[in-house]
């Protein structure tokens, strides 16, 4: 029997719910500012590595004012293991300066204001809006983009298109949770390399060729 893409998406969400009923936020943080910095650091870096580095950074500066007491070079030295440290350290210093000067040290809670900050793209803003402020968002990174294509939920032409497709297929009150469920599922069952379709609870039913 042919299943519509909507029916398939509903079943996939049920599988994700069964396997990952709890969705703790993978990046360790204490508030919205430390979440923002952790998400920025996670670009092209694993959450595991970010979580090893942020305690050292946040011990010195866990708010924008204290971050400005460090030099860009000092920030860069601490975050070097996360990769792209010259760019990320400048962005962390720059956005902290804007938060102090324009927002009284607080992280703004709109996509427009977040995406205007140095180093903050749409995906980073989406994570902060969903995980920091509880606002419905569906952050799509390269992993979620890959899985949506693998499962036939999106054509995989662009991250932007995948985000639109997943938002259309998933009820808005499930966006924040589903985003994390897909990440957890991908790590455990559906990796980029060494993936065995027959052993994957979703690809064994719905997987298309990579």
Establish whether 210 is a catalytic residue: no
| Location of each CATH 1.10.1670.10 domain in the chain | 5-22+138-206
The second-level CATH assignment, the architecture, of 32-132 is: Orthogonal Bundle (1.10)
In this predicted structure, what is the pLDDT of residue 156? 75
Query: Regarding the domain delimited by 5-22+138-206, which CATH topology (the fold level of the hierarchy) does it fall under?
Result: Endonuclease Iii, domain 2 (1.10.1670)
Q: What is the pLDDT of residues 51-92, one digit of tens each?
A: 999 999 999 999 999 999 999 999 999 999 999 999 999 999
Task: Choose the catalytic residue: 60, 97, 118, 123.
Answer: 123
Task: Choose the catalytic residue: 8, 30, 88, 141.
Answer: 141
Percentage of the chain beyond pLDDT 70 is 99
Measured between alpha carbons, how far is 74 from 88 in angstroms, rounded to an integer?
Answer: 12
> Which of 76-85, 93-102, 167-176, 188-197 has the least mean pLDDT?
188-197
In this predicted structure, what is the pLDDT of residue 210? 56
Q: 210 or 154: whose pLDDT is higher?
A: 154
Establish whether 31 is a catalytic residue: no
Three-point CA angle 134, 139, 144, nearest 5°: 135
**pLDDT mean across residues, the chain:** 95
In this predicted structure, what is the pLDDT of residue 192? 87
Question: Model-level pTM?
Answer: 0.93
| Location of each CATH 1.10.340.30 domain in the chain | 32-132
Q: What is the pLDDT of residues 15-54, one digit of tens each?
A: 999 999 999 999 999 999 999 999 999 999 999 999 999 9
């Amino acid at each position: 029997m042919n299943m519509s893409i909507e029916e398939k998406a509903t079943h996939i969400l049920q599988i994700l719910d069964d396997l990952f009923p709890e969705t703790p936020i993978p990046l360790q943080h204490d508030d919205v500012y430390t979440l923002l910095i952790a998400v920025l650091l996670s670009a092209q870096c694993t959450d595991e590595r970010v979580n090893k580095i942020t305690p050292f950074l946040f011990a010195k500066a866990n708010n924008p004012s204290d971050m400005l007491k460090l030099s860009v070079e000092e920030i860069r030295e601490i975050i070097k293991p996360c990769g792209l440290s010259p760019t990320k350290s400048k962005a962390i210093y720059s956005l902290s300066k804007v938060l102090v000067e324009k927002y009284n040290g607080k992280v703004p809670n709109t996509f427009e204001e977040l995406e205007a900050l140095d180093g903050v793209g749409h995906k980073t803003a989406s994570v902060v809006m969903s995980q920091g402020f509880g606002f419905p968002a569906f952050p799509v990174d390269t992993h979620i983009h890959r899985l949506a294509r693998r499962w036939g939920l999106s054509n995989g032409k662009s991250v932007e298109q995948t985000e639109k497709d997943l938002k259309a297929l998933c009820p808005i009150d499930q966006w924040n949770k589903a985003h994390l469920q897909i990440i957890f599922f991908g790590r455990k069952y559906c990796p980029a390399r060494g993936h065995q379709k027959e052993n994957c609870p979703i690809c064994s039913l719905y997987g298309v060729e990579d």
